[in-house]
Amino acid sequence: MTEYKGLGEVTGKRVLVRSDLNVPLDGTTITDDGRIRASVPTIKALADAGARVVVTAHLGRPKGEPDPAYSLAPVASRLAELLDRPVAFATDTVGASAQETVAALGDGEVALLENVRFNAGETSKDDAERGAFADQLAALADAFVSDGFGVVHRKQASVYDVAQRLPHAMGGLVATEIDVLRRLTVEPKRPYVVVLGGSKVSDKLGVIDNLLGKADKLLIGGGMVFTFLKAEGHEVGQSLLEEDQLDTVRSYQQRAQELGVEIVLPTDIVVADSFGDEASARVVPATDIPADTLGLDIGPESGKAFAAALADARTVFWNGPMGVFEQAAFAEGTHAVAEALTRVEGLSVVGGGDSAAAVRALGFDEDAFGHISTGGGASLEYLEGKELPGITVLEQGDS
């Protein structure tokens, strides 16, 4: 329990744990429990040490008031299964149910509070409103453990303000995430290859800008590749395109050339006349996309080329699928990259979000990767060199 040494003895203490349990739901059915499983070790370690564990988390984006569609009740059931112990569920966050549920906890027992974003104070931009809600959360506990890496880039009550009000420590999941990200930015082992996909270049501008001086190669796929292809003067048909980013992309290409960083683009693209399960897919050269089609995946030759570029890598960071992996016709590019990462002899990091969902949806063993991040947005902001409020507050010392 070295991660929690700042808390001292936790037996009998009420420990508020901010976890990231923001999982996708189909009604009340959890379709991917990866974040819940990643949260279990810290919760279990504290419970095994005799703490009275009070878990707080969010799900989705409710509008600051209760919404049954975003209830954490299904998560409480799954968490209990994974912990192999009961999990008491409070039907509110800081109200009567929360207070009664926490008061009833014995040593080594676990409770989950209802969605913290059902309270407007959680995400408020007003420091006083956010602080008032943090006071109510802090009143439920004797100490705080921050273990929701997916939200540490947010200045929110359960992430930032509570840590200012209670003795606090970094949870095991957050500690691991930060350690891995530092290895990606401070003297990474080389060759260092960054694979970027997803829909928009604008989502990755800061990462590209910061990693251009650190990586040896950047492999570009997904919807963002069409802005790169267009910047080189190629037809991209009806594919996703950010016209306002063309000059920025050209500047990155020029800078990469000056720094000796290789930007690798696909040489072939899987296109279709429409988007959907009935779409008829075909492969065309990346430089010759028909005007009436849209690109939905990198092609098979590009998949092989990307895999070859990863073959001798010693450090790899991958964020963003290569295509619309949810549809079999457009999943091969993402599959090729994921499979190549499993063979990397060094540090391979899957950067959360859609990339993490893809490796699970495509049937890969999670243990085949060096690290699968639980925080796509937080990972990207760290790699952009931004300050993460939820980490900065932990490093300021115990309250």
Tell me which residues are annotated as active site: 35, 200, 353, 377
Tokens of 323: 């295509």
E strands, the chain, where?
Answer: 14-18, 25-26, 29-30, 52-56, 87-89, 110-112, 143-146, 168-170, 192-196, 217-220, 262-264, 268-272, 282-285, 294-298, 315-319, 347-350, 371-372
Q: What are the beta bridge partners of residue 219? A: 195, 264
- Whether the Cβ atoms of residue 66 and residue 58 lie closer than 8 Å to each other: no
* First CA to last CA distance, the chain: 20
CA separation (Å) from 281 to 273, 274, 337, 371?
Answer: 8, 9, 20, 33
CA separation (Å) from 365 to 198, 318, 342, 348?
Answer: 22, 16, 9, 14
Please name which of 199, 328, 197 lies closest in space to residue 265, comparing C-alpha atoms: 197
Dmax over CA atoms of the chain, in Å, equals: 67
Count CB neighbours of 367 within 10 A: 8
- Whether the Cβ atoms of residue 198 and residue 204 lie closer than 8 Å to each other: yes
Residue 346 falls in which region: left (phi positive, over 0), alpha (psi -120 to 50) or beta: left
